[in-house]
Amino acid sequence: MDTKLTLEEVRKFIAIEFPQMADVYRVDAIAPMWAQVSMMPDERHLRPGATVSGPTIFGLVDCGMYFALMATIGPEALAVTTNASIDFMRKPLAGKALIAEVNLLKVGRVLAVGDVAVRSEGSDALIARATLTYSMPPKK
């Protein structure tokens, strides 16, 4: 199984279609049913106590799932998130990038399910863990 898009094609697609995302999120690597994305949190993403806000982590997780799916089924598809469940477990390390690793567990006719693990760069400890379900676009 090949990816439908190369890493370069995914990055180009994001830069054109999601310019605001492209400023924040970086696609590090893709493979069939898999992707790794990362971001460097800045002032905008912090909360009191110097922790990264939940919505920031959710944004990283959701875009990682989207990019993994796009690489797997192709860019024309308008899949949308229908369900997300996320557990926040530890504070990120200060001054380190956040890295999200996405594994697609199922890409079915109507639903795709993915598992996302978020860690700080250089650390094995899980910061957050999410499961997302996307509704697949109807076949033309």
Q: Which residues are near its own copies by CB under 8 A?
A: 17-18, 20, 44, 47-49, 51, 53-55, 58-59, 62, 78, 80-90, 105-106, 108, 110-111, 113, 115, 126, 129, 131, 133, 135
Kindly tell me which of 28 and 115 has the beta carbon lying closer to its own copies: 115
Minimum distance between the CB of residue 121 and its own copies, rounded to whole angstroms?
Answer: 19
Q: In whole angstroms, how close is the CB of 133 to its own copies at the nearest point?
A: 6
Least distance from C-beta 42 to its own copies, angstroms?
11
Q: Sign of dihedral through CA atoms 89, 93, 95, 97?
A: negative
Cβ at position 15, least distance to its own copies in Å: 14
d(CA 45, CA 135): 28
In the complex with its own copies, which residue's Cβ is closer, 30 or 57? Answer: 57
Choose between 4 and 129: whose C-beta lies nearer to its own copies: 129
**Phi-psi map region of 4: left, alpha, beta (phi>0 left; psi -120 to 50 alpha):** alpha
Question: How far separated are the first and last CA of the chain, in Å rounded?
Answer: 22
